[in-house]
Structure 1
Amino acid sequence: MDQRLLTFRLLQVFRQVVQHGSITAASRALHLTQPTVSLQLKKLSDAVGTPLVDYQQQKLQLTAAGELLYQAAQDIDDRLSELRFQLSQQQSGSIGSISLAVVNTAQYLLPELLAAFYQDYPAVQVTLHIGNRARILERFEQQQDHLYLFSHPPSGDHVHAKPVVRNPLYLVAPLTHWAAKQSKLSFQQLKTERFLLREPGSATRMIFDTWLSSQAIELAHSMQIETNEAIRLSVSAGLGLAVLSAHTLQLPHDRLVILPVQGFPLSSHWYLVRHANKRLPPAAMRLQQFIEQSLAKWHDPLGV
């Protein structure tokens, strides 16, 4: 590798190509032409002395060398960000930039939490990314953010995950449903009902599927809906029953009721996660500590 040919600009272009998954998308993000980005990528490959990307079934993939260079580029960017923070801290006190990524359900936890954090650290800038589990997992593997909130964290030696708050999952029904008037129910009484489910791979879906399997129960009717908000509104409208996190429910404003079903609520937790290979700047460490301390005080307001 010829280090004399490496530049921060080449590494920036490379990072954008990896994170956007294509030269076309990276060129739009960088406001450059596709040929320019392709040429920059070739210069970087020449400097390293080996190809950094290849294409499998028309999808951009990193080579082994590309993986190593991407990790180094991420480390360099983090160290430079930390240097900027330290230099600024000497002049103006506690400031910094944090990238936080959470799965869809966790968005209900964040507004009050971040509002309280900003009261203590008004000069810290937090960028919040929200997506389904597959998207946030992709961001985690690419180390695009400092901290993550998962209800079912990824696995591996590169994962640092700490449970920070309970995430009970309740079985809910419309107010007009016949089961809403019952004081005690078994799931067998409900298994022929239509259930509104998140997409396969979501944490709520995985926990519910695991519970169904442990009880040797198969649902007779189901409908897949991609967001908890849409599921909550659909239950209120009478479309079916659903298993939802206590954090997503807005009782008594929702036109739905929690069913007293044996075995529910299902137990789960939210996890604060970071990538072991990504350095946390001081501002991110402050946010990590703040989240852990704040959520440790949370209790289930439904408690049924």
Structure 2
Amino acid sequence: MTDLKALTRKQLRVLAATVERGSVSGAATVLHVTPPAVSVQLKSLEELVGAPLFLRSGDAPFTPTEIGQELLSMAHDVERMAARIGERIAALKAGASGSIVFGVVSTAKYLAPSIVAAFQRECPGVRVTLAVGNRGEITRGLERNEYDLTIMGRPPAHIEAESATLGDHPYILIAPPDHRLAGDSDILAEDLLRERFLAREEGSGTRALMERFLERIGGGRVFEIVEMGTNETIKQSVMAGLGIAMISAHTCLTEIADGHLVTLQIAGLPLVRQWFLLHRSDRELSKAAQKFRDFVIERRAKLLPKLPAFCF
């Protein structure tokens, strides 16, 4: 087994910067050191593990090997842990009574800021750091114990977690106001076959839900799906007429109320899921995190936006 006791954070940071920038000189610029200093750190790291860190291919000379990728993952883990500890120390030095890392799936970013703001009006001594990611990223964060509490849809089956239901989370089908199906109260699956669906990336809970819905109504028929990176991009693209999309109603209440988007009515929609507040069962909550959890659960009916009739 390779002994990594001599491994340093400086070596890991040099590795990460070199991969990110794609060159020794780029890494040196980011780290404010000389290129030879970067080369020395990389060489010492290769000697420590006894294997090459990069594939050394002509087109991408700093593509990590499998061993290099493992060390790169370690570098990211170390930086995340250091940042988290730094947040906690900063909260204590600022005289706060505690700090919380609150992880939320990207769809919940339309809910989370108002929840945090309401909590901090009542408990200004607790510092809350909000971390946003897609379902895969938040799940990996839970696996790594990065969050005190999280908000997401269906809790991951492979993680032992305590969860509390916060309220309804409906998914709807949106289109521009001038869409050919707008106002049609009897839309059939066949009507959607010629449509282009705009969707989030693989790993997104919304993407998985949409694909299951299309599989069910289409009976295995292939729908055109175009991937987009954020809910905001999807909404703007739908308004521009690039396609239609299944999306969380919480993300587009304003656009529908303003008449920039409409909801398409089709049997089986909206798909109503639930929001959950959860934390790992094997991790004891701090007093600050427990206070936050109690606050959200006790006030959940007021903290979640009121859903208009078009959602149901």
Q: Same fold (TM over 0.5)?
A: yes
Q: In 1, distance between residues paired with 2:141 and 2:165?
A: 20
| Post-superposition offset of 1:147 | 1.2
Aligned counterpart for 2:239 among listed residues 211, 228, 236: 236
Q: Aligned-pair RMSD on alpha carbons?
A: 4.2
Q: In 1, distance between residues paired with 2:54 and 2:107?
A: 33
Q: In 1, distance between residues paired with 2:105 and 2:181?
A: 31
Q: In 1, distance between residues paired with 2:267 and 2:243?
A: 19
Q: In 2, distance between residues paired with 1:124 and 1:158?
A: 26
2:288 aligned with 1:286? no
Quick one: which amino acid aligns to residue 296 of structure 2? I
* Greater CA drift, 272-281 or 259-268: 272-281
| Post-superposition offset of 1:151 | 2.0
Quick one: which amino acid aligns to residue 199 of structure 1? E
* Greater CA drift, 117-126 or 206-215: 206-215
Q: Structure 1: where are the runs of 5+ without partners?
A: 43-50
For the structure 1 residues 31 and 270, does the alpha-carbon distance in structure 2 shift closer, same or farther, using more than 3 Å as the test?
Answer: farther
Contact between 1:118 and 1:124, CA under 8 Å: does it hold in 2? yes
Aligned counterpart for 1:252 among listed residues 257, 261, 268: 257
For the structure 1 residues 274 and 32, does the alpha-carbon distance in structure 2 shift closer, same or farther, using more than 3 Å as the test?
Answer: farther
Quick one: which amino acid aligns to residue 183 of structure 1? S
1:59-106 per-position Cα deviation (integer Å, ceiling 9, x unaligned): 66779xxx9xx9xxx8xx99xx99999x99xxx7x7211111112111
| Post-superposition offset of 1:130 | 1.2
TM-score normalised to structure 2 length: 0.69
Counterpart of 1:225? Answer: 228
Q: In 1, distance between residues paired with 2:99 and 2:31?
A: 21
Counterpart of 1:180? Answer: 182
Q: In 1, distance between residues paired with 2:88 and 2:175?
A: 49
2:264 aligned with 1:267? no
Q: Alignment partner of 1:179: what SS?
A: coil
Counterpart of 2:282? Answer: 277
Counterpart of 2:308? Answer: 301
Q: In 2, distance between residues paired with 1:286 and 1:31?
A: 42
For the structure 1 residues 231 and 82, does the alpha-carbon distance in structure 2 shift closer, same or farther, using more than 3 Å as the test?
Answer: closer
Matches within 5 A, 1:61-80: none
Indicate the percent of aligned positions where both proteins have the same amino acid.
32
Corresponding pairs, count: 272
Q: In 2, distance between residues paired with 1:287 and 1:158?
A: 20
Contact between 1:149 and 1:273, CA under 8 Å: does it hold in 2? yes
Counterpart of 2:145? Answer: 143
TM-score normalised to structure 1 length: 0.70
Q: Structure 2: where are the runs of 5+ without partners?
A: 21-27, 56-63
